[in-house]
Structure 1
Amino acid sequence: MRWRCWRDAFSVSNMRLLLAGAAMMATGGCINVTAPDKPIVINLNISITQEVVYRLDNKAKTLIQQNPGIF
């Protein structure tokens, strides 16, 4: 990897990697990553409600009241 400037070599992300590597070398530890035995289950309880608001014109309202079997 080639850096444009010496500051790029010592950026925050590179310093974190360097410190993590140094800590692992100092402790002599090893990191093992294994998959879980059971599948990961995510329960999402989502409630979706919808509210419908409507208004009727006075003429339409009286027309519906006069002819209840129209709909």
Structure 2
Amino acid sequence: MMRKPAILLAAVGALGGCVTVSAPDKPIVINLNINIKQEVVYRLDGKAKAVIDENAEIF
């Protein structure tokens, strides 16, 4: 029963290593081609349109 922890520690020690992180030689380029299109659709009630037409000077 004492062998299992010893084997486990040996396995963990064998898997341990060094991790290195380095910057790339060339700059990182992120190309964002974004196209935004917005459409506004409105509908007026017949009565509301008549009121606006009658009072065009306030609009």
Q: Which TM-score tier does this pair reach, normalised by the shorter chain?
A: 0.5 to 0.7
**TM norm structure 1:** 0.46
Is 1:42 the counterpart of 2:19 in the alignment? no
Q: Give the percent of matched residue pairs that are identical in Structure 1 and Structure 2.
A: 74
Gaps of 5+ in 2: 1-21
Gaps of 5+ in 1: 1-33
1:4-59 CA distance string (max 9 Å, x none): xxxxxxxxxxxxxxxxxxxxxxxxxxxxxx64212110111101111111100001
Distance in structure 2 (CA, Å) of the matches to 1:39 and 1:53: 44
Q: CA RMSD in A?
A: 1.8
Structure scoring higher RCO (CA < 8 A, sep ≥ 6) equals 2
Task: Flag the structure with larger Rg.
Answer: 2
Query: Which one of 43, 62, 67 corresponds to residue 50 of structure 2?
Result: 62
Paired residues in the alignment total 39
Alignment of 1:1-71 (within 5 A): 35-71=23-59
